[in-house]
């Protein structure tokens, strides 16, 4: 199941009816819950065995931040002093007393959440971030507030009661008053007032923030391109603040010319540049790459290769060369390698020798494979007998 389906259930219905329009609740959007992303044991392990530091976690109570000094300690790493390290005993004591644990930026340091977040970003085409909120039984949740970005709430364990008011574009209605349980989700467009109230059991949920790119953002990029006209650098005549009457006609003419320039701007190019940036500045998912670098794999036509899980490989043509958008970077290759890269981008697993028809030279095939392994796109790994790849 895709990440968006896990958040919203029926993706087509969600995008048609709810996306950016109204708040919605999904019961059991994910069968089996979100235990693969977060459990209470995960929270315990993060805070007791990993020397987790602020700002990757914090504690709050009754809507107020608890001073970091109350639950962190100092230590040393090599010759350097390190502050803000989680103090497990202090965290446990405050949690028992009603404090909520907030794990921040999980999309940066929890591998399952990183992969989930990457999948959701690619499906939506908008940057996402993930925090987790773990509240002890009987503690009060968040006060009524709203977020400046869209939000998915994914209930991972326990129960929590939510009060969800109409979204800014939603018709007037009474607030939703719902108790969510593992596997349930809530979607709220930006600006939706909501509050979480006390619950009878320990509750843990993931909050996925979606930073939606608006048409205002896209048009701002188009205007930036149109505003490169050097005539716009001409100074406004001296003394205009005392007598602007004579400038009205000139400003009107300049507005008309600016509109014409804006309409002549390459709209496809503006969108392509924005998409290229999106697909080349995401955090890299490259688990295993350091181990492979420590013991480089000998590559030949019999080598089994796989796309690294969560990898991105979008192919573009720019200025006569082939450009690969790999999620966190751009890789420029000779244009003649396009058929090989198409095969690689469309294959989950393959043997290097399969590229012989499009890259006839065995040495060139090996050089390409080693480069893509170094860049984090491919990994050399045994093939699953059920993968459908010819092992001969």
Q: CB within 8 A of 201, min separation 6: which ones?
A: 137, 158, 159
Per-residue pLDDT at 24: 96
Q: Give the confidence band of 319 by pLDDT, cuts at 50, 70, 90.
A: confident
Rounded Cα distance, 358 and 348, in Å: 18
Per-residue pLDDT at 382: 60
Per-residue pLDDT at 389: 47
Instruction: Please report the domains of the chain, with CATH numbers, ordered by start residue.
Output: 3-210 (2.60.120.650), 215-236+244-276 (no CATH), 289-380 (3.90.930.40)
Report the pLDDT averaged over residues 48-75: 95
Report the pLDDT averaged over residues 175-196: 95
Per-residue pLDDT at 241: 87
Beta strands in 71-223 (DSSP E): 72-77, 80-86, 100-103, 128-135, 150-157, 160-164, 176-180, 185-188, 194-197, 203-210
Pull the structure tokens for residue 270: 């503006």
Distances (CA, A) of 298 to 186, 304, 311, 337, 381: 49, 11, 22, 21, 12
Per-residue pLDDT at 190: 97
| Interval 207-218: pLDDT, tens | 999 999 999 999
Per-residue pLDDT at 318: 85
The whole-chain average pLDDT of the chain stands at 91
pTM: 0.88
Pull the structure tokens for residue 373: 């392994």
Per-residue pLDDT at 310: 84
Q: CB within 8 A of 389, min separation 6: which ones?
A: 304, 349, 350, 351, 383
Per-residue pLDDT at 384: 53
| Interval 327-350: pLDDT, tens | 999 999 999 999 999 999 999 999
46: phi then psi, degrees, rounded to nearest 5: -55, -40
SS3 75: strand
Per-residue pLDDT at 81: 94
| Interval 368-387: pLDDT, tens | 999 999 898 999 876 554 54
Of 8-12, 117-121, 144-148, 293-297, where does mean pLDDT reach its minimum? 293-297
């Amino acid at each position: 199941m895709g990440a968006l389906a896990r958040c919203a259930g029926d993706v087509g219905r969600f995008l048609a009816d709810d996306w950016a329009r109204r708040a919605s609740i999904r019961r059991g959007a994910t069968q089996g819950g979100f235990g693969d992303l977060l459990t209470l044991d995960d929270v315990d392990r993060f805070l007791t065995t990993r020397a987790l530091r602020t700002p990757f976690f914090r504690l709050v109570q009754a809507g107020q931040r608890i001073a970091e000094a109350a639950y962190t300690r100092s230590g040393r790493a090599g010759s350097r002093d390190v502050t803000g390290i989680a103090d497990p005993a202090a965290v446990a004591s405050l949690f028992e007393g009603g404090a909520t644990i907030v794990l921040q930026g999980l999309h940066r340091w929890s591998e399952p959440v990183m992969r989930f977040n990457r999948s959701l970003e690619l499906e939506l085409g908008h940057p996402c971030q993930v925090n987790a909120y773990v509240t002890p039984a009987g503690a009060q949740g968040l006060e009524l507030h709203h977020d400046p970005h869209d939000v998915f709430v994914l209930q991972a364990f326990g129960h929590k009661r939510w009060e969800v008011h109409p979204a800014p574009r939603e018709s007037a209605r009474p607030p939703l008053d719902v108790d969510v349980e593992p596997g349930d989700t809530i979607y709220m467009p930006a600006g939706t007032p909501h509050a979480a109230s006390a619950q009878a059991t320990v509750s843990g949920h993931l909050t996925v923030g979606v930073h939606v790119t608006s048409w205002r953002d896209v048009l701002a990029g188009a205007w930036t391109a149109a505003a490169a006209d050097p005539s716009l650098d001409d100074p406004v005549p001296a003394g205009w603040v005392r007598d602007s009457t004579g400038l009205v006609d000139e400003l009107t003419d300049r507005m008309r010319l600016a509109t014409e320039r804006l309409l002549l701007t390459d709209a496809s190019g503006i969108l392509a540049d924005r998409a290229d940036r999106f697909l080349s500045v995401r955090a890299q998912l490259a688990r295993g790459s350091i181990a492979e670098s420590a013991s480089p794999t000998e590559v030949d036509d019999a080598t089994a290769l796989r796309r690294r899980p969560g990898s991105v490989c979008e192919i573009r043509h720019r200025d006569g060369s082939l450009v690969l958008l790999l999620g966190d970077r751009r890789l420029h290759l000779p244009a003649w390698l396009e058929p090989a890269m198409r095969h690689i981008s469309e294959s989950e697993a393959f043997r290097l020798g399969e590229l012989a028809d499009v890259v006839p030279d065995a040495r060139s095939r090996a050089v390409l494979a080693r480069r893509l392994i170094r860049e984090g796109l491919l990994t050399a790994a045994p093939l699953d007998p059920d993968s459908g790849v010819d092992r001969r």
